[in-house]
Structure formats: C-alpha cells, structure tokens
Amino acid sequence: MTSTGSDIFIRCLREEGVDLIFGHPGGAVLFLYDAIHRHGFRHVLARHEQGAVHMADGYARASGRPGVALVTSGPALTNAITGIATAYSDSIPMVVFSGQVPLPAIGSDAFQEADNVGLTRPITKHNYLVKDVADLAPIVKEAFYIATTGRPGPVLVDIPKDVSNMPCEFDYPREVHLDHYQPRYEGHWGQIKKALSMLLRAERPLLYFGGGAILSGASAELRALVETLRIPTTYTLMGIGGIPGDHELSLGMLGMHGSYRANLATDECDVLLAVGARFDDRVTGKLDEFSPHSKKIHIDIDPTSIRKTVHVDIPIVGDVRNCLQKFLKVLEEKDLSRFHERMGPWKQQLEEWNRQEPIAYQQHPDEPIKPQFVIDKLFQATHGDAVVTTDVGQHQMWAAQYYHCQSPNNWVSSGGLGTMGFGLPSAVGAQCARPGEPVICIAGDGSLMMTIQELTTAVEENLPIKVALINNQYLGMVRQWQEIIYDDRKSAVDLSVAPDFVKLAEAFGALGLQASRVDEVDSVIEKAFAHPGPVLMDFRVSKTENCYPMVPAGSPSRKMLLRDPD
Amino acid sequence: MQHTISVWVRNEFGVLSRVVGMFSGRGYNIDSLSVAPTLDEEVSHMTLVTHGDDDTIEQITKQLHKLIDVITVKDHRDGEFVGRELALLTVEPPPEARAEVFRIAEIFRGKIVDVGQKSLTIEVTGKQDKIDAMTRLLEPLGLQSRVRTGPLAVARGSAR
C-alpha cells in the first residue's frame, strides 16, 4: 500500500528514534493527527501550543535528545513562537512541525493562514516549507540533522495540508548531503596547546562554563579538568549541573545574581577560560569593564559566539567535549605541582570573599517563610538529584543559588529569552523524558499563571511533577528593580488578587498543599513527594524578600548590591 | 569602512530573506545588494556592500556562514577584486544641451539606449565613483532619474 505524507511523517519520526511528540491538533494537521491515531504513535496533548513547545524543550533538556512538537497553522504557530524562540535562545535541539493551508491557498489570506516560515526565520536554526511530498522525508532527515549537530537549535518544518495527504513511496535517506554545513567538532591542537601554556602560567586562573558544556555532554570531562587543574570554577545559569553546585572548586554562578566571590573572581582573574559560554550581558555586566585584567581563552562550537562582544586572546572553535578531552590529554604529560602551588594565595582570596559575603539567608521561625528556605528544603529533600525546572524571576535566581544541582540535564530553565511560564510545561516534558525520577517545577506566582493550563496535561498523563510555587504575591523581580532603581514606585506588580492555588490545583485534579508558616514547609514537601500524582505546593513566602547579590544593569560586575538599601 | 562581500547561496526558496533578515535583525546595514544565478543554476551569487568596523565585518561574515543555505562567503578586503556597476540615467535636457549630454555619454563610454521626444536614457557601467561622477555632470543638464544595480564583484585572477 502506498503511503501518504502523513504516514511518511510518522515513519520519519520512527526512523529518528522519536518516542513521543507534544502537540495540539487543528484543521491543517488533521491528516497528521489521523496518522498518529492509525499508527498508535505516542502523543501528549498540551492545552496551548506554547505549552507543547516548552514540553518538547523540557524533554530535550532533560534527555539530551531532540524534542518534537506538532501544531497546526496560523494562530497555533503564532502561539508556538514563544516556545521556539525560548529554545533558540538556549540552543536546544528541537524539531517543530506546523500545519499550513493547502499549497494552492498559500498567499491567499486563507483561514488560519500565516507565513510560518517567515515568522520563524529569525528564531530557528533553519526552517522548511514542504512543497512536494517527495521532499518530506529528506527534509525531516535534514531537520533532525541540523537541529542536533553543531550548535543545536530548533528547526521548523511547515507542512501544507494537501502535502500531508499526497501519496508517495517512503524512502528514508541514509545520509544528509549538506556540503556547506559542516560544524567543526575537532578543536585545533595548536590552539589548545597555546591555551594550556597560557593557563598554566596564570596565578589567578578562573574557569567559566555555560550551556555548551551541558549540550555537548561534556560534564565528565569538565569535572576531570577542573579537578586535575584544581581550578576555581564558576558557571552561567545555563551551565548549572555541569559540575555539582556544591563542589569544593565551585564558586557558584556568576553574573547579575551570581555569588560575590564568583563575580570578584571574574573581575580579578588573570586568565579566564570560557567553556561553551557566550559572554551574555547578564554575565558580563558593563562590557568594557568585564574581567579587565585577564587574558581570555574561549572554546565554542559556534564561531559567531567568539569575539561577538568580548575580545578573546585564544579562540578555539570546536565541540566542548572534544576540546576538553584534548586538554586532558595534553595535561597527562604536565607536572602541575607548581601551578597548583602558585594558586595558593588566589584560593585564599576566594575563601576570604566567601567568608565576607556568602550566599546565605537567615530564617527566623516566627517570621514569614523565606523563599530561599523553601528552595534549601527542596534541595535537602532531594539531595540535589531532582530534575528542576523553573520559571523566570526572583525564584529562578534563588533556585540557581540554593538548589545545588548534582548532574547535567537536571536543570531546565529559560536563560537566554527569560520566558515566564516555561516552568510547568517544561516539567511535563522533563517528566516524560525521565519517568520515575523526581521532577520539581520551582515556579513564581506571576509566571505560573501564564501556562497554568498545562496542569491538565500533567493530570491527564498522571505525571508526578511537584510544583513548588514561591508565592510572594508580587512580580517580585520587577518589584525589586522598581524598589532599587525606580525609587520604590511599584508599578503594576501587585499580584495579591490571585486565585486560591490550593483550590485551583484541586479543580485541575491535582493535589493542592499550602504552607504559610515556617514549621509547615517540611511536612508539605514530605506530603508532596509521598503523593503519586502531580502536586502544587503553594508556599506563601515573604512579600518583601529581594534577591542578592545583584549587579544593576549597566554596572560592572564587581559593583554588586548585597542587601536592601536602608 | 565600506566592504564588498561575495556570498554564494543555495538557490532555495526564501534564501534572500534569510540573508537580508540576518542583516536587519542584527542591526547591520546593507548599502547595496545584487543577486542572480551563477553558471550552476542551483547556486546564486550575491554581491553585498556593507560598512562597519573590523569586528562588525568579522561578525557579518561569520553570521552569513552560519546560515544553512550559504555556501561560501568572501570578503573582498582580503584581495584585489573587480567591482562594476550598471546604471541607467534618464535626462531631459533643454534643446541647447542635448549635444552636451551626448558628449558626456561618449566620454564615459555610455550608450544611449532610449531616445524620446524630450528625454534620453544612457546606460553606463563602471566603478561606483565613475557613475557618481557622471551623475554630477548630468545633474545640471536635466537629470530626471537614475537607477543603478549596486556593484557586482569578482576576485581578480580566480575562478571563484
């Protein structure tokens, strides 16, 4: 029997080893959904297309495999855009399939028509409109190849409705022929040797790594390098989990809400080894005062990341894992004792900074619950081994500071785009990727309301995700900026009019729990983890707590605010 | 500083908007752009003139390379190149200046490609400054319009 485009779609997914897709049906993808039904392909129904794409994203981050989403044309694709842009900002491998009006209707302003390829061009690594069913299989093959190789990213495949029903033999290409797209994996030996000899002459070296270390699966090599060199190490929000957050050589995260010692170390170091990180403005602070005394070495698979904003002395284009393996190889023959010795005073200095301003909080038993306390308790309850997804805001930064992730692919957070509402749907995706493992969504009360409908999907799929709502009844991070920079004029940040989150959880069919006193926190967490299904824990925390350290936008990173002004 | 860049692209649907979108999305300028297929019909050649400091131009060439449909990028600052542009200039000279217009066209090795009751159109090719110079001379003689292609560039002494 001859296949149609919709059969080819399913068979391509099987060829790529895709075990499930996240999506939402509609008119232009009816044939594709019919094929999902006929072939018995596993599909998770999101309640909004943004949710579907975040789910695919969470799946990808938690598994290291590409996530797949399917949405229909027009408004579905415009809804999906936030999810695609989120994945693009963080270089997440993903293939999104969208429906399109039939070929003859394209350009006629047909019902639910949008220029999907045009709309997603700046937020995808590449995209395709399938104009001939014979091209479908080769395009899908290319899409997965492009999404998962080099610097990963989302790829969109737009399938017109008639194409999905045209007959065609299925013939999946064995290989992709893209002569001009050849990401460079192999780090250059000469550059690596040069970099190491510069690094080993340093007195105050610092390693700074980002999401590239996670994406290339390099955490074992990274940890080996850090421990061989005994080099102080800091990481970006995207790098969390690359080495355990509480590792003795970890200085914690750097940047806008990074630790005091990490930011001062960045400012004072004499050689900075950047590994799979891109000198984002949240990391550098004021650019021309960023790490002013250091020579910089930069490993990245994407040549455009190198020297984009910060001058680099030794660029190394290549896959992080490949490059670090070569670093370790060269180091086998080196005597590092003098290097280790020379770092003595530097490490004392780092210790001193940590003594002066550690990442710490004080919880008085009779005062309102501190958000940091809740996150600390979640860390203790799970020993740092849960998959943690976050929304965006203060709670995200506290999670980065206090939840010491132990392994890669356990930290799922929207770094580049900063997408509120990412936490819950990405937790759904992460739990699908890692069944049987604890998944916590650390959510903010502002963010959670943006995608709360996906609690239905968690209930439907019986996913035991634990939503820890850090509920301060404010858009806390915006409020914090308004307090500090806008003379305490709180504009449109009061969220005290909000649903009863416990009842809301129950209405969705999940378990709702609440803690409003310090002595309730432990038992709520305990009950949540004892429950076999999805749980929403409403932690009613201090309304006034702010997140420090804080580097105000445009300031150099050494100029941190450390506590509320008097 | 002005840079002339050659870009070879796969002749795919939407490739021009990918290139142009990269420029507008990242705030780079395009001073001129011309595109047409090469001898290999699956490949198009773009000559792109842009300006910026060295770091900007380095980013532009890297970002162009990063586009999946881009095959090769050549920034012509690295070697000598021939740059030529074609312009069509339409002039409506007063009767007494008609001969002068013909003379200017001849000096610049232009060709009269259209003659009307009042107007005439001159086709001219050359470097940008030649076309600029001719424009200046024709302006006082009733220059009505000018369309130009923007430069096409080819590296000297190389097949590609």
What are B's interface residues with A at a Cβ cutoff of 8 A? Answer: 10, 13-14, 17-18, 21, 25, 55, 58-59, 62-63, 65-66, 68, 70-72
* pTM for this prediction: 0.96
Beta-carbon contacts below 8 Å between A and B:
35
| Strand residues in A153-222 grouped as ranges (E) | 154-160, 167-168, 205-209
The minimal CB distance from B63 to the residues A131, A178, A304 is found for: A304
* A50 given a catalytic annotation: no
Q: Do B72 and A307 touch (CB under 8 A)?
A: no
Euclidean distance between CA atoms B103 and B113, whole angstroms = 15
Residue B78 has pLDDT above 80, yes or no: no
Q: What is the pLDDT of residue B1?
A: 83
- Strand-pair category, A43-45 with A535-540: unpaired
Q: Do B14 and A122 touch (CB under 8 A)?
A: no
Fill in the DSSP letter of residue A141. Answer: H
Residue B56 has pLDDT above 60, yes or no: yes
Q: What is the pLDDT of residue A1?
A: 63
The closest alpha carbon to A450, from A10, A47, A42, belongs to A47
Q: What is the pLDDT of residue B158?
A: 64
Which stretches of chain A score pLDDT less than 50?
A: none
Euclidean distance between CA atoms A199 and A324, whole angstroms = 14
* A506 given a catalytic annotation: no
Nearest CA in chain B to A155: B68
The minimal CB distance from A122 to the residues B13, B25, B70 is found for: B25
Q: Which amino acid is at A383?
A: H
| Per annotation, catalytic residue among A31, A55, A141, A161 | A161
The closest alpha carbon to A388, from A160, A58, A17, A102, belongs to A58
The gap from C-alpha B63 to its chain's centroid, in whole angstroms, comes to 22
* A362 given a catalytic annotation: no
CA–CA min distance A304, chain B (Å): 6
Backbone phi and psi for residue A251, each to the nearest 5 degrees, phi listed first: -95, 0
- Strand-pair category, A154-160 with A511-515: unpaired
| Per annotation, catalytic residue among A253, A343, A477, A560 | A477
- Number of other residues whose CB lies within 10 A of the CB of residue A246: 12
Residue B159 has pLDDT above 60, yes or no: no
Q: What is the pLDDT of residue B160?
A: 47
Euclidean distance between CA atoms A295 and A298, whole angstroms = 10
**Angle CA A377–A381–A385, to nearest 5:** 115
Q: What is the pLDDT of residue A539?
A: 98
Per-residue pLDDT tens over the stretch B20-29: 999 999 999 9
Euclidean distance between CA atoms A69 and A457, whole angstroms = 15
Residue B80 has pLDDT above 90, yes or no: no
Residue B127 has pLDDT above 60, yes or no: yes
Q: Select the residue from A181, A310, A311 to test the B interface by mutation, using most B Cβ atoms within 10 A.
A: A181
Euclidean distance between CA atoms B72 and B40, whole angstroms = 14
The closest alpha carbon to A445, from A427, A465, A467, A430, belongs to A467
Mention every residue, 6+ apart, whose C-beta is less than 8 A from residue A297: A195, A198, A199, A271, A272, A273, A274, A312, A313, A314, A315, A316
b/e per residue A540-561 (b: at least 16 CB within 10 A): bbbeebbbbbbbeeeebbbebe
Q: Which amino acid is at A286?
A: K
Q: Select the residue from B62, B63, B69, B70 to test the A interface by mutation, using most A Cβ atoms within 10 A.
A: B62
- Number of other residues whose CB lies within 10 A of the CB of residue A122: 14
Per-residue H/E/C for A493-539: CECCCCCCHHHHHHHHCCEEEEECCHHHHHHHHHHHHHCCCCEEEEE
Contacts of A243-252 with C-beta under 8 Å, sequence gap 24+, read A243/A219, A244/A384, A244/A404, A244/A405, A244/A406, A244/A407, A245/A384, A245/A403, A245/A404, A245/A405, A245/A406, A246/A384, A246/A404, A247/A223, A251/A350, A251/A354, A252/A359, A252/A401
Q: Select the residue from A180, A278, A301, A305 to test the B interface by mutation, using most B Cβ atoms within 10 A.
A: A180
Q: Are B73 and B59 in contact (CB under 8 A)?
A: no
Euclidean distance between CA atoms A389 and A405, whole angstroms = 11
Q: What is the pLDDT of residue A179?
A: 82
